[in-house]
Amino acid sequence: MAKAFEQPIYVTRPLLPNIEAVTERMKKVWDSKQLTNFGAQHNELSDRLKDYLDVDHISMFSNGTMALLLGLRALELTGEVITTPFTFPATVQALDWNNLTPVFCDIDPVTFNIDADKIEALITEKTSAILGVHVFGNPCDVEKIQKIADKHNLKVIYDGAHVFGAKVNGIPISHFGDMTMFSFHATKLFNTVEGGALTYHDAALDKRLQLLRNFGIVNTEEVALSGLNAKMNEIQASVGLEVLKVLEEERNKRHTIKRAYEENLAAIEGIRVLTTLEDESSSYQYFVIDIDQEKFGQSRDVVYEELQKHNVFARKYFSPLCSDFEWYSGLASAQPVNLPIAHKAVQQVLAMPYYGELPIESVVQICAILQELHVTQESLFQL
Ligand code: T4K
């Protein structure tokens, strides 16, 4: 029998930089007495990220949600935005807070991303944009989405909360679409405790986003528009600068952990790994499996509960579907009959513990629990 863990194993643990290095940086911040409002740490991190992500334009924010919310605002979208129901609530809440109506599009059965083949049928005269999410680090069908957007004169925004640093066929992911949002939350591979950024190609957005994240203030005499407070502060930026130094090491560790999971899961029927990308194509953000109840012999929910009994806290990201939020119940596109793949996926998906400090023996033990839960057709026959 696979043993329960003595200490809880969580879906993730933050990547913590060297505390002495962070303290050194804090001393600089203390000496400067500039704690926020675009100080030296903020500007240094902004430059470093521009290089790391290989982009021309970046604006950093207090968190990913504010980045997306203000990014949508900066693009001056109106009416309807076609998006996925299979995402974290923040994606659609950013639409809500811009008075934009989400139009839910079903997802691809393999990647669980918005199904590009189903977008065009949802376009109306009110549609202003497509908001895709690179779910769990798997890129959307960026080429197909761009073709549709060009044909119908729509903007394309990507929620890239899960794809920090990833490339698509060697091209940095934020080169696709008009704008990409990244989250730097503590649970993300690259973190600034809380934080986020937008990358984009249009230089004019620099100024507009600067105003939007800082109360619309132009200078001490002038306020140009109704903005918000969504600035990344110096403490956040300091942590980020030190996290950048340990990022490569963490990616390597996660690569090894991913391989260990894959080896130990390979023989278990009914489990499909969703996050198969590696090296420069991968953000190494999540390790996610899809459990086919018929083949595995148990439902995802049983697996989730049994893991908890063993002190393993995997997560059912992203349940519930955003289309099931009560305030969308009147939307035609939110009706389950229009989203069959998303409704199936959300019953099957499980994000497994995944972070550099997770020992390989723990991965082996978690997979042994799954192996024990697996009910083969033969054993059913014997019953
Ligand atoms: N779009 C997408 C597609 C997203 O996934 C997200 C965020 C966003 C937009 C919005 O970006 P932000 O505004 O957050 O920058 C977590 C994160 O809070 C959230 O950032 C993330 N997605 C989401 C997928 O995961 P929860 O509710 O699962 O967090 P929580 O507190 O349950 O943490 C998960 C586990 O991580 C805990 O069981 C233990 C561990 N943990 C967590 C924290 C916060 C730690 O060990 N230390 C910590 O400090 O949402």
**Span 54-66, pLDDT tens digits:** 999 999 999 999 9
- Is the whole-model pTM more than 0.95? yes
CB-count exposure of residue 53 (10 Å: 0-12, 13-18, 19+): buried
292 — phi, psi (to 5°)?
Answer: -90, 105
What element of type H or E holds 157? strand 155-159
Domain spans, the chain: 19-245, 247-382
The CA 14 to ligand 1 mean position distance, Å, reads 10
What is the CB neighbour count within 10 angstroms for residue 122?
18
Q: How far, in Å, CA of 66 to CA of 94, rounded?
A: 8
Most informative mutation of 158, 182, 185, 189 for ligand 1 (most atoms within 8 A of CB): 185
Q: Does the beta carbon of 12 lie inside 6 Å of ligand 1?
A: yes
Q: Is 8 exposed, middle or buried (0-12, 13-18, 19+ CB in 10 A)?
A: exposed
Assess whether 188 carries a catalytic annotation: yes
Query: By the 8 A CB rule, do 288 and 12 touch?
Result: no
Q: Find out if CATH 2.20.25.90 is the number for domain 19-245.
A: no
| Alpha-carbon gap, residue 131 to 85, rounded angstroms | 11
Instruction: Name the token pair of 318.
Output: 């992203």
Question: Six-digit token pair at 31?
Answer: 């000496």
Low-confidence ranges of the chain (pLDDT < 50): none
The fold of 247-382 is Aspartate Aminotransferase, domain 1 (3.90.1150)
Packed helices 40-53 and 234-265: angle between N→C axes, nearest 10 degrees: 30
Does the bond joining 340 to the residue before it have cis omega, within 30 degrees of 0?
Answer: no
At residue 156, the 3 state secondary structure works out as strand
Query: Is the beta carbon of 14 within 6 A of some atom in ligand 1?
Result: yes
Give the residue from 212, 205, 213, 209 showing the smallest Cα distance to 231.
213
Distances from the Cα of 105 to the Cα of 234, 327, 336, 352, 355, angstroms: 39, 17, 11, 26, 31
Q: Is 138 in the pocket of ligand 1 (CB under 6 A)?
A: no
Q: Which of 48, 82, 45, 57 is nearest to 174 (CA)?
A: 57
The amino acid that residue 131 corresponds to is: L
pLDDT of 364 reads 97
Whole-number Å distance between alpha carbons of 3 and 243 = 34
Burial class (CB in 10 A: 0-12, 13-18, 19+), 349: buried
pLDDT at 380: 59
- 138 neighbors 111 (Cβ within 8 angstroms): yes
Indicate which residue's Cα is closest to atom 37 of ligand 1.
10
Q: Is 19-245's fold the same as 247-382's?
A: no
Q: What's the DSSP call for residue 107?
A: B
CA of 221 to the centre of ligand 1 (A): 39
Q: Which of 3, 33, 118, 188 is catalytic?
A: 188
User: What does DSSP assign to residue 336?
Assistant: G
Confidence (pLDDT) at 317: 96
pLDDT of residue 340: 98
* Ligand 1 site, residue 64, Cβ cutoff 6 A: yes
